[in-house]
Amino acid sequence: MAKVIKYEFVEELMRKMTLSEKIGQMYQTNYEGSAQTGPAIDTSKTMDLIKEGKLGSILSLYDNDTIKRLQLAAVNTKNKIPLLFCNDIIHGCRTMLPINLAMSTSWNPKLVEESSKMVAYEASHSGVQVTFSPMVNLSRDPRWGRVMESNGEDVYLSKELTKSYIKGYQQGNLKSENSIGACIKHFAAYGAAIGGRDYDGVDMSEGELFNNYLDPYKEAIKCDVAMMMSSFNSYNGIPAVANKYLLDDVLRKKLGFNKVVITDYASVNELRKHKVAKDEKESAYLAIKAKNDIEMASTNYLDSLEELVKCGMVSESEIDEACRRVLNLKYELGLFENPLKNIYSDFPKYWLKDESRAIAKKMADESIVLLENDGVLPLKKEKVSFIGPFVKEKKVVGAWGGKCDYNDTVTIYEALNNKNKKYSYALGSNIFDTSEELISEAINVSKKSSVVILTVGEEQWMSGESHSRALLDLPSSQERLIDEITNLGKKVILIIFAGRPLVLTKYKKMYLEGKISAILYAWYLGTESGNTIVDTLYGVNNPSAKLTMSFPYDVGQIPVYYNHLPSGRPIEDKNNTDYCLRYIDMPLEPLYPFGYGLSYSEVKYGKIELDKDKLFDNSKITVSISITNTSSVKTKEVVEMYIEAMYGVVSRPVRELKGFNKVLLKPGETKKVSFTINKDTLSYYKGSKKVNCYGKYRVYLVSDSSKENFVEIDYSKNTK
């Protein structure tokens, strides 16, 4: 394990601290009791704890005056140790970005970094010193409500975006008045909870963990992430928070993380529910032995650690180690020099600046996915009507709304008016219910137009923590509305709002039958939602987003993801599928594959070029392709590079993303896009051991994970 830095300032402070005060640094309380799970401490006790030196940090406190009052009290105590204020600022502080899953569909690391920098600017002036973000749990199961916080199903893409989030938040300088500390979460494998049920257990091989789950954390450590959060789920029988293998052997020793690990909310209490601890004392014991430095929300550390030290079960040096990490972080953040850092009484003046909104708009523009289009989009001069519950809906921010005010959201309705568009409108249905009057009004309005834009979707609270779903369809009142409107013989554009991939098979069928003309997936786009949607409909924005989770054909197909392992009986001959691994009642492929998304342009992919086709341990190959925008509108195209190991020492996924590049193309323009392949590109884990997999590979340069356009290369050890 990498050694923890010893700052003389911190060491000297620690020499003066009592055991109880050190343990106090290891406790984080939830002042307002607003988190979704577990207990909240009685807020009236907070001031007493501060005065006794028994509190190190506070989460989810939103009121600036209270933050200031508590901080001043903390630095007025014997040791003058400032509190640390943490919050879940995940996809925006006040200016709201799209949900994280939507942002990942931008495939634009630079823009994610720029956006996170904007978030850090607002948060660092709003009493936040560390944010519990980014959430990098690999997400292959859209039933899981927390997919909305994730980067989707691919580890490579997630790794690249993790880097951007952390760079944007921390800006390489925790002391800066415009930066905040990042806390990457949750360690580990939380997204693989069985059945997509939040908090459920995970059973996973080491190979799977190392190949598909750990890279974003490794990247975060390289970027000097300030904090890491352990997860709620059990991993191979032991809850992550008490899992020495995960937190000590892998995270501390193998990955070398030497900064603060914080538990998730009251997860130390939950060790009793997981049935691995009989009481508070044992819960505290298991969590400290697994090397969690701060206990969030519950008080097992506070109540039992001193006793555990006194009876010799926990050593004082273990407490010192944890306390040192916490104090080091406060020191690195500059809190000792300036305890009121990030606490401003004029905080609103840093919110919603024009430049911040412009970044949120850019991000929303690159996060809306065009799934189908028969040519109706962009709109021309048709008579249009807007129908459905999301035309005027302000709550299109998604879960974890930071300090947002829904009044800030620009709805579709407001954007249409601001942009002087001519249109008619009817509600048609609320999110969960409708009436004959609403339906017939929607029919009447639609009949008078030639194009109907139908907005439908999940209510924003149907995804997020504790919000898994077993069914991934639309509320029945909205399904009815779609049926009624698509029966009118008009051109219908479906705009879908959701925090996850929904099952869209029915609507794709309607598209193929000509009853629906286009499908736009809007997720929740945040403050600039309406502006992006209207600009996209009218061609001001050319959509460029591509899916980062496969969209299932049916719930029964889940988990369905592009980089699955091959079977011994793949479908090679589509006419003879008798002995192949297959469902008898639906296709094996998802409805929309990973990496898929349309634009208003057409981009032609040329032939792949290789500078050589043999790779050795000490060499590299450059693979390139020319792409041409054959349309008359400028576009952004994501070129995706996948590899397929044709044989090797271990069976590997049918495809693995190993590179991508988003390129701007003017009308008619051709650009050459190149990628480098070396032994690291092709290495793979066998168990927890990284191996060089010599053999034959296909290299694909394509517009989505289902496309065929590849060259072959050989990889061998020979260095001659």
The residue count for binding ligand BGC (CB under 6 A) is: 11
Provide the minimum distance between the beta carbon of 36 and ligand BGC in the complex, in angstroms, as a whole number: 5
3-class secondary structure, 295:
strand
Q: Which is nearer to ligand BGC, 216 or 378 (CB)?
A: 216
Provide the minimum distance between the beta carbon of 460 and ligand BGC in the complex, in angstroms, as a whole number: 17
Report the alpha-carbon distance of residue 290 to residue 201 in Å, rounded: 18
Report the alpha-carbon distance of residue 100 to residue 119 in Å, rounded: 13
Asked if 60 is part of the footprint of ligand BGC (rule: CB under 6 A), the reply reads yes
| Contact set for ligand BGC, span 279-308 (CB under 6 A) | none
Provide the minimum distance between the beta carbon of 465 and ligand BGC in the complex, in angstroms, as a whole number: 5
Q: Which is nearer to ligand BGC, 37 or 505 (CB)?
A: 37
3-class secondary structure, 35:
coil
Closest residue to ligand BGC, based on beta-carbon distance:
132
Report the alpha-carbon distance of residue 136 to residue 159 in Å, rounded: 8
Provide the minimum distance between the beta carbon of 38 and ligand BGC in the complex, in angstroms, as a whole number: 7
DSSP 8-state symbol, 99:
P
Report the alpha-carbon distance of residue 266 to residue 619 in Å, rounded: 50
| Candidate ranges 35-43, 137-145, 350-358, 482-490; the one touching ligand BGC (CB under 6 A) | 35-43
| Contact set for ligand BGC, span 5-34 (CB under 6 A) | none
| Contact set for ligand BGC, span 511-530 (CB under 6 A) | none
Q: Which is nearer to ligand BGC, 265 or 425 (CB)?
A: 265
CA angle 525, 526, 528 (to 5 degrees): 90
Among 32, 33, 37, 353, binds ligand BGC (CB under 6 A): 37
Active site residue 264: yes
Among 13, 17, 23, 35, binds ligand BGC (CB under 6 A): 35
Amino acid at residue number 688 = S
Asked if 36 is part of the footprint of ligand BGC (rule: CB under 6 A), the reply reads yes
Q: Token pair of 546, please? A: 């591509």
Provide the minimum distance between the beta carbon of 558 and ligand BGC in the complex, in angstroms, as a whole number: 22
Asked if 264 is part of the footprint of ligand BGC (rule: CB under 6 A), the reply reads yes
Strand partners, 373: 518
On the 0-12 / 13-18 / 19+ scale of CB atoms within 10 A, 12 is: exposed
Q: Which is nearer to ligand BGC, 29 or 536 (CB)?
A: 29
Report the alpha-carbon distance of residue 154 to residue 562 in Å, rounded: 9
Helix (H) or strand (E) holding 12: helix 8-16
Report the alpha-carbon distance of residue 663 to residue 108 in Å, rounded: 10
Handedness of CA 107, 109, 110, 113 (dihedral sign): positive
Contact 664, 634 (CB under 8 A): yes
One of 88, 154, 198, 264 is an active-site residue; which one? 264
Q: Which is nearer to ligand BGC, 475 or 499 (CB)?
A: 499
Contact 111, 154 (CB under 8 A): no
Asked if 59 is part of the footprint of ligand BGC (rule: CB under 6 A), the reply reads yes
| x/- map, 454-483, ligand BGC, by CB under 6 A | -----------x------------------
Q: Which is nearer to ligand BGC, 59 or 314 (CB)?
A: 59
Asked if 265 is part of the footprint of ligand BGC (rule: CB under 6 A), the reply reads yes
Provide the minimum distance between the beta carbon of 523 and ligand BGC in the complex, in angstroms, as a whole number: 19
| Contact set for ligand BGC, span 313-332 (CB under 6 A) | none
| Contact set for ligand BGC, span 138-197 (CB under 6 A) | 185
Among 24, 25, 53, 88, binds ligand BGC (CB under 6 A): 88
Provide the minimum distance between the beta carbon of 190 and ligand BGC in the complex, in angstroms, as a whole number: 8
Handedness of CA 393, 398, 403, 408 (dihedral sign): negative
306's CB contacts (< 8 A; 6+ apart) are 19, 20, 23
Asked if 132 is part of the footprint of ligand BGC (rule: CB under 6 A), the reply reads yes
Alpha helices in 17-108 (DSSP H): 19-25, 46-51, 64-74, 100-104
3-class secondary structure, 386:
strand
DSSP 8-state symbol, 228:
E
Query: Which sequence positions are flagged as catalytic?
Result: 264
Q: Residues interacting with ligand BGC, by CB under 6 A?
A: 35-37, 59-60, 88, 132, 185, 264-265, 465
